[in-house]
Amino acid sequence: MYPLSLIRSAKGSPIQIELKSGEIYNGVLINCDNRMNLKLTQVVSTRKGQNQALKLSECCVRGNTIQFLKLPELVIEKTKQQAEKRNQYKKRFGENSQKRYGRGGRGGRGGRGGRKRGRGRGGGRGGRGRGRGGRGRGRGRGRGGGRGRGNSKN
Amino acid sequence: MSNFFKPVFDLEDYFDKKVHIRFLEGREVSGVLKGYDSNSNCVLDQAIEYLTDANGNLLQPPQIMFLGLMFCKGSSITSIFPEEGSTIIENK
């Protein structure tokens, strides 16, 4: 569970922000972004050591100044539900992509591997064959049964 | 992902309106928002600074310093709020 996803699911719920400077903003969260900049409505803002509070219709708080947030407990359940939804999507998309890649990939890999193996085997066989052929030629020359040279001589 | 293209600090709503900007060290400035960008750098017209005492508390009654046209660096901005709809509540 990421902190930003927790905040995103807190949209529309009351929230309390304490800033690094000690200011406190109580309000309803409208919007948030990736930098944790928050937009609140129906805000009451208080400052350290001041008896006055400021009531604001709207307020934008910059993310880098936030020290901590107080969120309602309902938000945790919301984020869990959204995290589960995302996992389900990932599973679905993940299965589809594996099937596609598996078929094509296996076929491609098989084809490429087959050729390689074929060449390899062919080379191996050829090598082994040549080896055997070499031995055979030797015998062939003596007997006169070799491939071409042996026969031509004989 | 839509937040990526339209930042929350979309000051479009506050354009040409009187806004209060609070800064990191407790300074407060108000002015008409004439320009902004994605880093929340702001240009304020007819800017007024509300002076604070040594502890950083706003002076009562508020003393002001007239600044005129000013540029606010986004990195030191704490919060921005429009002046309309803001009321002072005494004795929290």
Q: Block means of pLDDT (10 residues each) for chain A, length 154 residues? A: 87 93 92 90 86 88 93 86 86 63 46 46 44 44 44 44
Look at residue B23 and tell me whether its pLDDT is greater than 80: yes
Secondary structure of A58-125 in HEC code, one letter for each residue: EEEECHHHEEEEECCCHHHHHHHHHHHHHHHHHHHHHHHHHHHHHHHHHHHHHHHHHHHHHHHHHHHH
Residues of B with Cβ-Cβ distance to A45 under 8 angstroms: 79
Between CA A38 and CA A45, with CA A40 as vertex, the angle to 5 degrees is 105
Higher pLDDT, B17 or A114: B17
Shortest CA gap B3–chain A (Å): 6
CA angle A102, A104, A106 (to 5 degrees): 60
Q: Which residue do the tokens 């800017």 mark?
A: B47
A41 Cβ under 8 Å from any chain B Cβ:
no
Q: Which residues of A fall within a CB distance of 8 Å from B9? A: 33, 37, 39, 60, 62
Q: What residue in B sits closest to A56 (Cα-Cα)? A: B86
The complex's ipTM?
Answer: 0.82
CA distance A62 to chain B (A): 5
What is the fold, at CATH topology level, of the domain defined by B3-82? SH3 type barrels. (2.30.30)
Comparing C-alpha atoms, which of A15, A31, A30, A10 is closest to residue A75?
A10
Give the confidence band of B29 by pLDDT, cuts at 50, 70, 90.
very high
Q: What angle do CA B37, B43, B48 make, to 5 degrees?
A: 145
What does pTM read for this prediction? 0.67
pLDDT: which is higher, B91 or A24: A24
To probe the interface with A, which of B24, B58, B78 has the most A CB atoms within 10 Å?
B78
* Residue bearing the bigger pLDDT, B39 or A123: B39
- The rounded distance, in Å, linking the Cα atoms of B35 and A130 is 83
* A24 within 8 A of A46, measured Cβ to Cβ: yes
Q: State whether A33 and B84 contact (CB < 8 Å).
A: no
Q: Is A26 on the interface with B (CB under 8 A)?
A: no
Which tokens is B14 given?
Answer: 């506050």
Residue B80 has pLDDT above 50, yes or no: yes
pLDDT computed for residue B4 by the predictor: 53
B36 in helix, strand or coil? strand
pLDDT at residue number A70 = 93
What's residue B7's pLDDT? 58
**Cβ of residue B62 closer than 8 Å to a chain A Cβ:** no
CA dihedral over B72, B77, B80, B83, signed as positive or negative: negative
Q: Chain B contacts of A49, Cβ < 8 Å?
A: 55, 57
Contact B11 A37 (CB under 8 A): no
Residue with tokens 């719920």: A13
Parse chain B into domains and list their residue ranges.
3-82
Question: What local confidence, expressed as pLDDT, does residue A131 receive?
Answer: 43
Nearest to B8 among A37, A56, A65 (CB): A37
Q: Which residue has the higher pLDDT, A1 or B4?
A: A1
Mean pLDDT of chain B: 83
Q: Is A86 on the interface with B (CB under 8 A)?
A: no
CA gap A75, A14 in Å, rounded? 10
CA separation for the pair A77, A108 (Å, rounded): 45
CA–CA gap between residue A129 and residue A132 (Å, rounded):
5
